[in-house]
Chain A
C-alpha cells in the first residue's frame, strides 16, 4: 500500500489521536480517574501507525505494556479503551484488564501484555494458525528493545523462521529499558542485527519517520503475506514521558528529551513532509487536530459516565462455565 495524500491524512489523524489519548490518559491519572501504571506511547506514534496502516481487520496484532498506540492504530474504539483505563464495565475488557491488557478480539487485537517479550511466542502461534489454515493473514508483534534480551524472543523468532510463518516482529528500540539505558545492558546496539541468527531479514529504520516505517513495514508485511516468512523490523524511537508513573528520570537529561521533542517529533516531521507535497492545508491540519481532540473528549465523557463493573464480575471469566463436555 503506497502512501498517497488520503492515506497520509488518515495516518496523520491516527498519530494525533494517539498523542492526545495518551496525554489525556496521563492527565486523568493525575485526577485520580485512572489507577495503576500507564506506559505512554508519546514520541513513538510513527511506529504503530506506520505498521498498522498496512493491516486488515483480520490481521493479528500483539503488543506490550506500552500498547495503547498499537491498539488505536489497529482500530480499537477509543471510547472502549479509555473506559478500560478507567476500569469501567464498558471498557474493551470490561474493566478487567486495564492499560497493560487492553485487547479487542473483534479486531484481532490479541492484547497488550504485561510480561516483557510475552507476546512474541503467542504472535508466532497466530502465524502458525494462519499457516495451518492456509489463509493469508499476517501477524504483527510489537515489543521493546528490552524484550530482545529474553529467551522467548529467541525461541519465538526461531520458530517463526523455521516454519516461515507470516509474522512481522517489530522492535521499538527507544534506547531505554525502564530506567536503564540500553547500552548499559545490551551488547549490540541494533536489535535488527540479531535477525542474522534466525536467517531472516533484519531491517532498521528511523522510527520518528512514519514514511520510512510505513515503507519498510509494507515490504515486511507483503513478504509475510506471500508466505516468505518473518522479518525483524527495528524502529529507532524515543519515549517522551517517563517509563511509567512516578519515574524520576534520573537516567536522562531534560535536554535530551527536549531535543527529541523539538527536532525529532514524528508528528511534526510528518506534517512537514505532507505540507511539502501539498497533502495538507493549514485548515485540514486544524480539522484533523480538532477531530482527534473531540474523539478524546468524547472518550473521557464516555468513560466517566460508565459504571464500574458489578462486584460479581471479579468472579466471572476465569473459565468458560457455560461449556459442557457434550457426550
Chain B
C-alpha cells in the first residue's frame, strides 16, 4: 500500500502502462511543457521522448489523430486540457471513435483513452467547469469512467489503456489532490463494477465522482440523525452496474442519486430511471436527485459554491427520503 493523490495515481498508472506497452503514447496540448495544467503527464517526455506529442491548439485534430493511430493499432492517451473543449472534437468522439467498430461490422477497434479534467476546481466559470458525463453515456460505443479515489483512478486507468474500445476518462479537478491508499502492483478494475463505499441499511446514496467523498461525509453527519446510509459508487457510468445499484436499493428501499453537474437530463437521471424501472415495488420514497441547478457555472465564488451540491445537499436529500 502507498498513499497517493488521484493525480499521482493517474500519473503513475500512465508511466507503468507506457513502460509495459510500447504502443501507448500521449498526445495533447502543453503535455510536455507543463505536464498538462494538472501535471499528470509530468516526466513522460523525459522517459519516453518518442511517445509524447505536444500539439497545436486543435482539439478536433488531436482526437482525430488519436482515432487514426488507434485504428492502426496504437494506444493513444489523449489529454483534452479542460473537458469543456471536447465540444470542439465532438465529431471525432461521437461519429468516428464511437462508431468505427459497429460500422465496420466488428473489424475495427479504437483503443483510445481521452482524459478529461473536469468540474469545478479553481473558480474559472462557465467554460472551464463543466462535467457532462451524460453526453457521452448517451452514445453507444463509448465507455465513461468516473473515478472517485486514487485506488479506483489507478486501477480504472490501467483498464482504460488496455481496453479495445474508446474510453472517456473523467478527472474531477476538485479531487485531484484527494489522498487515499493504493495497493501496490498491478490492480486492474474491470468496467461495469460499482463499489459499495459504505454499507448501510436505511437509504442508498448513489454518488458519482466528487460526490462520493461528500456522500461519505454526509453519512457521518446522518449517523446523528440515526440514519445509516449506504454509498454506492458506480465507478464507470457506461457500462453501468445496475445490478449493484438495484441490489442496494432493494435492501434499503430508498435512493438518492448525486452528481456534481446539472441534474437535468444528467448522469443521475439515467440512474434514477434505472432504479424506478427495476425497484419500484421496493421503494418507500420517490427517488431523489442531488445535482447542480440547470444553470451555467457562475464565476463569483459564493455563487459557484451555492450551486454546486455540497455535503449538506446530500444530508438534506437523505432526510427528505427518510421523512
A163 on the B face (CB < 8 A): yes
Tell me the minimal C-beta distance from A226 to chain B in angstroms: 19
CB pair B72–A159 under 8 Å, yes or no, is no
- Chain A residues 116-163 with CB under 8 Å of chain B are 118, 120-130, 132-133, 139, 151-152, 154-156, 158-159, 162-163
Which of B63, B92, B108, B143 interacts with A319 by CB under 8 Å?
A: B143
CB pair A101–B72 under 8 Å, yes or no, is no
Number of interface residues of A (CB under 8 A): 53
Which of B92, B104, B189 interacts with A105 by CB under 8 Å?
A: B104
Chain A residues, Cβ within 8 Å of B73: 129
A250 on the B face (CB < 8 A): no
A60 and B72 in contact, given A115-B95, A122-B96 (Cβ under 8 angstroms): yes
CB pair A159–B65 under 8 Å, yes or no, is yes
Stretch at the interface among A45-53, A88-96, A266-274: A88-96
Chain A residues, Cβ within 8 Å of B158: 325
CB pair A97–B72 under 8 Å, yes or no, is no
CB pair A132–B64 under 8 Å, yes or no, is no
A125 and B104 in contact, given A156-B64, A159-B58 (Cβ under 8 angstroms): no
Which size class do B's interface residues fall under? Answer: 35 or more
Q: Given the complex of chains A and B, what is the CA–CA distance between A114 and B102 in angstroms?
A: 14
CB pair A111–B108 under 8 Å, yes or no, is yes
A303 on the B face (CB < 8 A): no
CB pair B108–A325 under 8 Å, yes or no, is no
Stretch at the interface among B47-55, B218-226, B274-282: B47-55
Q: Given the complex of chains A and B, what is the CA–CA distance between A159 and B55 in angstroms?
A: 8
B184 on the A face (CB < 8 A): no
Nearest chain-B residue to A93 (Cβ)? B105
B74 on the A face (CB < 8 A): yes
A256 on the B face (CB < 8 A): no
Tell me the minimal C-beta distance from B240 to chain A in angstroms: 13
CB pair B25–A92 under 8 Å, yes or no, is no
B43 on the A face (CB < 8 A): no
Interface of A: prevailing SS: mixed
B70 on the A face (CB < 8 A): yes
Which of B71, B163, B164, B191 interacts with A122 by CB under 8 Å?
A: B71
Nearest chain-A residue to B64 (Cβ)? A121
Nearest chain-A residue to B68 (Cβ)? A125
A292 on the B face (CB < 8 A): no
CB pair B105–A91 under 8 Å, yes or no, is yes
Tell me the minimal C-beta distance from B151 to chain A in angstroms: 14
CB pair B68–A124 under 8 Å, yes or no, is yes
CB pair A118–B164 under 8 Å, yes or no, is no
Chain A residues, Cβ within 8 Å of B67: 121-122, 125
Tell me the minimal C-beta distance from A243 to chain B in angstroms: 20
Query: Digit string of A306-327 for contact with B (CB within 8 Å is 1, else 0)?
Result: 0000000000111110011111
Chain B residues, Cβ within 8 Å of A106: 107
Chain A residues, Cβ within 8 Å of B53: 128, 163
Q: Given the complex of chains A and B, what is the CA–CA distance between A319 and B217 in angstroms?
A: 36
A233 on the B face (CB < 8 A): no
Which of A159, A162, A316, A327 interacts with B187 by CB under 8 Å?
A: A327
Which of A111, A120, A127 interacts with B100 by CB under 8 Å?
A: A111
Tell me the minimal C-beta distance from B4 to chain A in angstroms: 18
CB pair B101–A125 under 8 Å, yes or no, is no
CB pair A317–B188 under 8 Å, yes or no, is no
CB pair B72–A130 under 8 Å, yes or no, is yes
CB pair B69–A126 under 8 Å, yes or no, is yes
4 smallest beta-carbon distances between A and B, as pairs:
A121-B64, A125-B68, A155-B61, A94-B105
Binding site for B on A (CB under 8 A): 60, 62, 91-97, 101, 103-106, 110-111, 113-115, 118, 120-130, 132-133, 139, 151-152, 154-156, 158-159, 162-163, 316-320, 323-327
